[in-house]
Amino acid sequence: MSFVTRLSLHLGAVVVLGVVLVFGAGLYAASQVQQDLLPDISIPAVIVITPYPGASPDIVDAQVTVPVVNALQGVTGAETVQSTSSQGVSLAIVLFKDGTDLKAAQQDVNAAVARAKPFLPPQAPASTVQTFSTNSIPILTYAVSADEPLGDLAGQLRTQALPKLKGLAGVSSLVITGAPTDEVDVTLDPIKLAAHRVSLAQVASALQQAAVVQSVGSLRQGTGTIPLQVTGYLTSLDQISNIVIVPASTARGQTVAAVTVGQLGKVALVSIPADTITRTDGKP
List of domains in the chain = 42-136 (3.30.70.1430), 138-176 (no CATH), 182-272 (3.30.2090.10)
Q: Rounded distance, CA 104 to CA 76, Å? A: 10
Q: CB of 109 within 8 A of CB of 48?
A: yes
Q: Is 248 helix (H, G, I), strand (E, B) or coil?
A: coil
pLDDT of 53: 84
Give the separation between CA 193 and CA 50, rounded to whole angstroms.
Answer: 36
Question: Judging by DSSP bridges, how do beta strands 78-86 and 244-245 pair with one another?
Answer: unpaired
Task: Output 249 or 192, whichever has higher pLDDT.
Answer: 192
The residues near 76 (Cβ < 8 Å, ≥ 6 apart) are: 108
Classify 183 as helix, strand or coil: strand
pLDDT of residue 64: 92
Query: Is 8 within 8 Å of 19 (Cβ atoms)?
Result: no
**Of 16-25, 73-82, 180-189, which range is least confident?**
16-25
pLDDT grade for 38, boundaries at 50, 70 and 90: low
Amino acid at 44: P
Instruction: Of 27-31, 51-55, 71-75, 264-268, give the lowest mean pLDDT range.
Output: 27-31
Residue 221's DSSP bridge partners are 224
Q: Is the pLDDT of residue 68 over 90?
A: yes
Q: Which of 62-66, 104-108, 171-175, 278-282 has the lowest mean pLDDT?
A: 278-282
pLDDT band at 150 (very low <50, low <70, confident <90, very high): confident
| Least confident span in 61-65, 107-111, 253-257 | 253-257
Residue-level pLDDT at 24: 81
260's CB contacts (< 8 A; 6+ apart) are 241, 242, 243, 244, 245
Q: How far is CA 83 from CA 66, 69, 121, 177, in A?
A: 9, 7, 18, 24
Distance CA 118, CA 108 (A): 17
* pLDDT score for 216: 46
Q: What sign has the CA pseudo-torsion 210, 215, 219, 223?
A: positive
* Contact by Cβ (8 Å): 84, 91: yes
Q: Which residues pair with 265 in a beta bridge?
A: 188
Structure-model confidence comparison of residues 219 and 61, the more confident one: 61
Q: Are 172 and 143 in contact (CB under 8 A)?
A: no
Query: What's the predicted TM-score (pTM) here?
Result: 0.44
As a whole number, the mean pLDDT across the chain is: 78
The pLDDT assigned to 137 comes to 64
Give the angle subtended at the CA of 37 by the CAs of 31 and 39, to the nearest 5°.
95
> How far is it, in rounded angstroms, from Cα 62 to Cα 74?
19
* 253 confidence band (pLDDT: 50, 70, 90): low
For residue 49, pLDDT beyond 90: yes
